[in-house]
Amino acid sequence: MIAQVIVDVASKQTDRIFEYNIPSQLDDVAIGSRVVVPFGRRKVQGFVVGLSKTTSFQGKLKDLLLVVDEMPPLTPELVKLSEKMAQDIFSYRITILQSMLPQVMRANYRKILAPIDDEAKQMPYFQGEPIDLNKVTDLKEIVFIKKLLRQNKAKVEYIVENKAHKKTEAVFYLAKEKNEFIEIYENLRKSAKKQQILLLDILNDYNAYPKRGKQLQEELNISSAVLKNAIEKGWLLKKEIEVYRNPLQHLKSDFHKKITLNHDQQSAFDEIKSAINQNKSKTFLLEGITGSGKTEVYLHAIQETLNSNRTALMLVPEISLTPQMVRQVKERFGSSVAVLHSALSAGEKYDEWRRIRRKEAQVVVGARSAIFAPLDNIGLIVIDEEHESSYKQEDNPRYHARDVAILRSKFHNCPLVLGSATPSLASRARAQKGLYELLKLNERANKKSLPEVNLIDLKHVEFAGGQFDLSVELVEAIKAKIAKKEQVILLLNRRGFASFMLCRDCGFVLKCPNCDISLTFHKDTQQMQCHYCGHTESIPRVCPRCNSRKIRFLGTGTQKVQEEITELVPQAKILRMDVDTTRKKGSYKRILDSFGRGDANILLGTQMIAKGLDFPNVTLVGVINADTSLQIPAYNASEKTFDLLTQVAGRAGRADKTGQVLIQTYNPEHYAIKLSQSQDYEAFYRHEMQVRYQGNYPPFFFTTLVSIASKNEQAAAKEAFLIKRKLMTKLHQPTIILGPTPSSITKIKNQYYYQILVKYKKEPHLNQILHEIQDDAQLAKKRGLNVYIDNEPEKII
């Protein structure tokens, strides 16, 4: 048999299948196996993407060297998926295969002792698992191992292991028969009290061994030295066995919590249910206002899937993958749930991923990359908050989780449910066309009316405290809520203290040396910071250009607003949540838990706090400046603004008390802001579709963005014009080619960016032309040029 392998070398020349002969001792290799192969003079890792009996290769094929994992990490479905994706998104296949696995699965060789025959596998010492020889230091154990080798019961092998350490725990096996222990006990010195205790336990509890070291130490109150001594005496054998890290272990299951669906929920659920039971690949768009109980519909659908012995995959945006959401799923489905997101440690992610692969978890909740969860037999895929831009990966491979979900739903013949209060225009338009089935939840689940939303026009307003951030009206409203012991959420989509430093004499603005963007003042660290590349520098005392001392800090950020509120409302206790306060693992959860307990009156934060949170005591939501997201130079800035305002407004008045929302803006007439006041998605959709139609933007046109980057600005511009020329000769009306133009932020991390936007309705050859451009770009790479191709970009910088 011959293995078809994609090797782990990302380049144009290696982006194809290489064939290897399968030696008989590696005949357990399968599609999806990770293998080690000779490649030129090196040994490299690769993935088996096919098996065949014949080859057209003329020479002699080389042999596979090693199969890395006991179980192939990829399923045949994922292997097939990678092939399709590589075509669609202009990525090397190996890059896609790698991104399907937990990041920590990178090659690293390890020496192990493996049992040879079935008899050896049955030995309690092995328990069917190989032993890591790198970890064996105990002399007695080494003697024992040598004996096994002599007796041909085990062999030494080298395997490629992951950098992620499996977490292990010491377990102690009995090395003697019971009657031998009786004899030892009887001959023991009377003074050896601790050893007596251990021997008594061995005699009384002989069948309960092997026992965990921790357990022995705690229950018998003996030290590790006693156990070590027992090993030296030949009573016990120690073995490290793996334990799974479980990020959800602190959560309790509460299977009895049953909620009866209301009318809208029930009819939505019925539709999804019938698709699940008929094994239908079908996409639903579940459109329900905030608080309408979409989550409950998902949970019912997941239950239905489990009842029919299939598995369920649920994606949630990173940002709203809150402890609250995870808890709900965990409460309902207990230990069948695995969770995958960036707040987990690398080890936790690796363990959760393997639980899924080994079919020990049937429900997966996770962020974007969880769309590649190696689930078998999928019966349902859910994407909550489907409009979120975080589902699109901005770096290579530039995939959209929604597109991958559609491919997987087709493979598994299962429904895909896209849920949102503010669906992306693209999805809503598809539902309008009948490509998706639209399901609507029209009212809040607990019959609470939507909060009252008022706009505060910053052009005609009295500001509090001599600053230009908080209106008197907003400050008074905050005070009133605090007096009633109710809570407040404040949104400001910019972290830091002030957004830029300006010299009043010469107009100089301090910018990042690597990026074409102004530095942000951070008061707590007393530094100027670049929010794009992380560059920091100290605060200049005088203007670097004219030496003037008249330096001013303009604009605002979460740190500054925190300081202002502390001054204006001294009784307020404030929790701040932004990138700066949530760097440490677990800090996100800590802040939310603290707010949930009522430790603070105000939760102030960036868009991190806008979504998914459900705090019953929050009755006021304030938006400090609604205009920040309108000013982003992207065709979908209005959509993002409407979405953000609607979502954050939905955090108010979720329980018994009625909510109030105050939005400060300089643009109260703008339709995205005005319509968020009435939370009228339908009206917004109609208006925005008009705007997109007139501008030839999605969903009326498809878009592809070609970005050209170089340290040398002229080289980038020149290459961009060459690419444009090539596109012009091959593409025709009504396709529109815009640019090349410098990106709105021309320079990022010392690279200059130029971009070309292709807008088209139907271009059957575009894919091929872009692949050609990408191949040419491979040559240009040597001249320091990088070309990126992004289908349906979410952001146009």
Q: Under the criterion CB under 5 A, does residue 503 sit at the interface with Zn ion?
A: yes
Total residues in contact with ligand ADP, by rule CB under 6 A: 16
- The listed partner (ligand ADP, Zn ion, none) that binds 548, CB under 5 to 8 Å by sort, is Zn ion
Q: Which stretch binds Zn ion (CB under 5 A): 54-62, 268-276, 342-350, 511-519?
A: 511-519
Cα distance between residue 359 and residue 384, in whole Å: 24
DSSP characters for 78-104? Answer: HHHHHHHHHHHHT--HHHHHHHTS-TT
Q: Under the criterion CB under 5 A, does residue 548 sit at the interface with Zn ion?
A: yes
Nearest distance from C-beta of residue 123 to ligand ADP, angstroms: 52
239 burial via Cβ count (<10 Å: 0-12, 13-18, 19+): buried
Q: Is the peptide bond before 115 cis (omega within 30 degrees of 0)?
A: no
Match 């696995």 to its residue by tokens: 101
Nearest distance from C-beta of residue 325 to ligand ADP, angstroms: 9
Q: Which of 296, 348, 578, 763 binds ligand ADP (CB under 6 A)?
A: 296
Q: Under the criterion CB under 5 A, does residue 545 sit at the interface with Zn ion?
A: yes
- The listed partner (ligand ADP, Zn ion, none) that binds 291, CB under 5 to 8 Å by sort, is ligand ADP
Structural tokens at position 166? 């499996």
Q: Under the criterion CB under 6 A, does residue 323 sit at the interface with ligand ADP?
A: no
Cα distance between residue 775 and residue 771, in whole Å: 6
Contact letters for ligand ADP, residues 596-625 (x by CB under 6 A): ------------------x-----------
Q: Under the criterion CB under 5 A, does residue 551 sit at the interface with Zn ion?
A: no
Nearest distance from C-beta of residue 541 to Zn ion, angstroms: 12
Nearer CB in complex with ligand ADP: 440/718: 440
Strand ranges, E, within 250-353? 282-288, 311-315, 337-340
Q: Of residues 232-261, which lie at the interface with ligand ADP (CB under 6 A)?
A: 259-261
- The listed partner (ligand ADP, Zn ion, none) that binds 265, CB under 5 to 8 Å by sort, is ligand ADP
Q: Under the criterion CB under 5 A, does residue 750 sit at the interface with Zn ion?
A: no
Q: Under the criterion CB under 6 A, does residue 423 sit at the interface with ligand ADP?
A: no
Q: Under the criterion CB under 6 A, does residue 291 sit at the interface with ligand ADP?
A: yes
Q: Which stretch binds ligand ADP (CB under 6 A): 166-174, 285-293, 352-360, 566-574?
A: 285-293
Q: Under the criterion CB under 6 A, does residue 449 sit at the interface with ligand ADP?
A: no
State the amino acid at position 602 in one-letter form.
Answer: I
Cα distance between residue 227 and residue 379, in whole Å: 49
Asked if 725 and 683 touch (Cβ cutoff 8 Å), the reply is no
Go through the chain and tell me how many residues it has.
Answer: 797
Q: Which stretch binds Zn ion (CB under 5 A): 144-152, 469-477, 525-533, 768-776?
A: 525-533
Q: Under the criterion CB under 5 A, does residue 227 sit at the interface with Zn ion?
A: no
Cα distance between residue 412 and residue 755, in whole Å: 38
Q: Under the criterion CB under 6 A, does residue 443 sit at the interface with ligand ADP?
A: no
- The listed partner (ligand ADP, Zn ion, none) that binds 533, CB under 5 to 8 Å by sort, is Zn ion
**What are the two backbone dihedrals, phi and then psi, of residue 574, each rounded to the nearest 5 degrees?**
-120, 135
Nearest distance from C-beta of residue 744 to Zn ion, angstroms: 15
Nearest distance from C-beta of residue 51 to ligand ADP, angstroms: 45
Q: Under the criterion CB under 6 A, does residue 317 sit at the interface with ligand ADP?
A: no
Structural tokens at position 558? 């979460």
Nearest distance from C-beta of residue 438 to ligand ADP, angstroms: 16
Q: Under the criterion CB under 6 A, does residue 265 sit at the interface with ligand ADP?
A: yes
Which candidate, 704, 770, 705, places its Cα nearest to that of 743? 705
User: In which element (H, E) is residue 457 found?
Assistant: strand 452-457
Show contacts of 205-211: CB within 8 Å, 24+ apart.
206/174, 206/178, 206/181, 209/172, 209/173, 209/174, 210/124, 210/171, 210/172, 210/173, 210/174, 210/239, 211/171, 211/172
What 3-state class would DSSP assign to 464?
A: coil
Nearer CB in complex with ligand ADP: 141/287: 287
Match 């006991």 to its residue by tokens: 70
Contact footprint for Zn ion (CB under 5 A): 503, 505-506, 508, 512, 514-515, 530, 532-533, 535, 543, 545-546, 548
Residue ranges that bind ligand ADP, judged by CB under 6 A: 259-262, 265, 288, 290-296, 445-446, 614
